[in-house]
Amino acid sequence: MTTANQDLLHRYIFEQRHVRGELVQVTDSFNEMLKNHNYPDVVERVLGELLAATSLLTATLKFEGDISVQIQGDGALNYAVVNGNHKQEMRAAAKFSDDIKDGTIPELIGSGFMVITISPDDGERYQGVAELSKDSLAECIENYFETSEQLKTRVWLATEVTEQSRKAAGMLLQILPVEESAVDDFTHLEALTNTITDDELLNLPAKQVLTRLYHEDNPVLFEPQPVTYKCGCSREKTGEAILKLTYDDALDLVAERGNIEIICQFCLTQYLFDEIDVKTLFQGTNGLENQNPTSIN
């Protein structure tokens, strides 16, 4: 089967149907964001689904800024998160127990929930919370839209994890509530999309997928948007985390350990701050006044 042109998000509408759609396929960026980690296959599959879902949500929720889609609970998969933005720049991380085994989302997460956080460049931060009561992540996303957005939405997610490569893909259909006929339109397109296989979704080029599913419904495909891996961590941002401590607490950590070590959970880059670094951080901000520290001299 021909390999698709990966790492692209496609948006489309239908000329005669009151429904919008999206299709995302990610390979290179998915492999890049996981290359420094030693995640079990089951964790990589969940992160792949979460990556595809986050890309779809970023396009669906229509904002400019940052997004975080996080699932967490008391199960073997304690925590999995994908951070991204409207530019489709993504990064991922997870925490899990050594005894983790494959299973449904509730079996992996245990008692937990999904948190979708949107931080727009302009405007107020928004956070939505949904239960992880459905078997699959796709169903949990659909439940979120049904309860929070009141918009009928269907999501299809697929991942492939092998020793050679990892692939993630997803599709989304969402009703446009403008006409009574929109419900019938959605039902029709939903039935067609249900025929897609994971193999087709992961490996066929996007245009071929849309032709295969909707050749009689005239989907109008917009210019695709690249999906890329970008961690975005830096020594400067890491220093901002240290400034959340009091000056005395920061110096106590240096005295106890020799330095403050912070490792980025996404790319595993190590940042070290010694006593001089800590003093420079606090002297370079108004943090001293805010933290009420003792003299740094």
The pLDDT profile of the chain, 297 residues, written as one tens digit per residue, is 334 457 999 999 998 899 999 999 999 999 999 999 999 999 999 999 999 999 999 988 888 999 999 999 999 999 999 999 999 999 999 999 999 999 999 999 999 999 999 999 988 999 999 889 899 999 999 998 888 877 899 999 999 999 888 999 999 999 987 767 788 999 999 999 999 999 999 999 999 999 999 999 989 999 999 999 999 999 999 999 999 999 999 999 999 999 999 999 999 999 999 999 999 999 876 544 344 333 333
Q: Which amino acid would we find at residue 207?
A: K
Superfamily of domain 235-291: HSP33 redox switch-like (3.90.1280.10)
Domain locations along the chain? 8-229, 235-291
Q: What is the DSSP letter of 142?
A: H
The β-bridge partners of 77 are 96
* pTM score, whole prediction: 0.89
CB atoms within 10 A of CB 203: 21
Which conformational region is residue 9 in: left (phi greater than 0), alpha (psi within -120 to 50 degrees), or beta?
Answer: beta
Helical ranges in the chain per DSSP H: 28-34, 41-61, 105-109, 137-144, 182-193, 198-203, 206-214, 235-242, 247-257, 275-283, 287-291
Residues 6+ apart with CB under 8 A from 144: 114, 116, 128, 130
pLDDT value, residue 3: 44
User: Using an 8 Å Cβ cutoff, are 6 and 209 in contact?
Assistant: no
Superfamily of domain 8-229: Hsp33 domain (3.55.30.10)
272: which 2 tokens? Answer: 């070290």
